[in-house]
Amino acid sequence: MTIEFDFEVLSALGLTPALASRALQLEIEGTAHLVRVTEVHRETLVVDDGRGGRTARPLPRFTRALAEASTAVAVGDWVLMHPDAHGGLWVVDRVPPSTHIVRRDGDGHPHPVVSNVDTALLVMGLDDDFNPRRLERYFALVHGEGVAAVVVLTKRDLVAPTGGLLE
């Protein structure tokens, strides 16, 4: 088992000593590279090794194992990637995240939003779309995971001093 990574390079993407230590505790076969997920698509992931983004696919057994645990890969996850003999890149495991924000859809199914973040910017416009209850739900979602929240209110220029929208 060998996990290859350059801490100096990956620390610019948010790798911490604690996450690196968790990665080194994972048991894998062969050699794998530690990378960060920057995009999640249906069948592929875009991962960054500190030198640029590359497309990788999660191994089916890895995807099944996450599904059985009622979770999935999210943007911000640190994963182990293994190249195959044909130049394909395969994600074989995930480093346990320090934070993992998950929302639930209307049927109650979990959908990961993001992992390994310290601060969430909750952005809401002061126009007709402003909804204090939605803002409260967002705040509860991130606060429940121990992530600091910063509320950013936009479109102030569209609101009259009396509280109504400018025409």
Tell me the pLDDT tens digit for each residue of 1-55.
Answer: 689 999 999 999 999 999 999 999 998 888 899 999 999 999 999 999 999 999 9
Q: What count of other Cβ atoms lies within 10 Å of the Cβ of residue 44?
A: 14
Q: What is the pLDDT of residue 118?
A: 93
Length in residues, the chain: 167
Q: What is the pLDDT of residue 104?
A: 84
What value, to the nearest 5°, has the Cα angle with vertex 130 and ends 127 and 136? Answer: 160
pTM of the model: 0.85
Which residue is it, tokens 């009259």?
160
Contact 122, 142 (CB under 8 A): yes
Rounded to the nearest 5 percent, the helix, strand and coil shares of the chain are: 20, 40, 40
Q: What is the pLDDT of residue 73?
A: 96
- Minimum mean pLDDT among 121-125, 127-131, 147-151, 162-166: which range? 162-166
> Which segments of 50-166 does DSSP mark as H helices, in order?
60-68, 132-143
> Which segments of 36-131 does DSSP mark as H helices, in order?
60-68
Q: What is the pLDDT of residue 21?
A: 94
Tell me the pLDDT tens digit for each residue of 44-103.
Answer: 999 999 999 999 999 999 999 999 998 999 999 999 999 988 989 999 999 999 999 998
Q: What is the pLDDT of residue 75?
A: 97
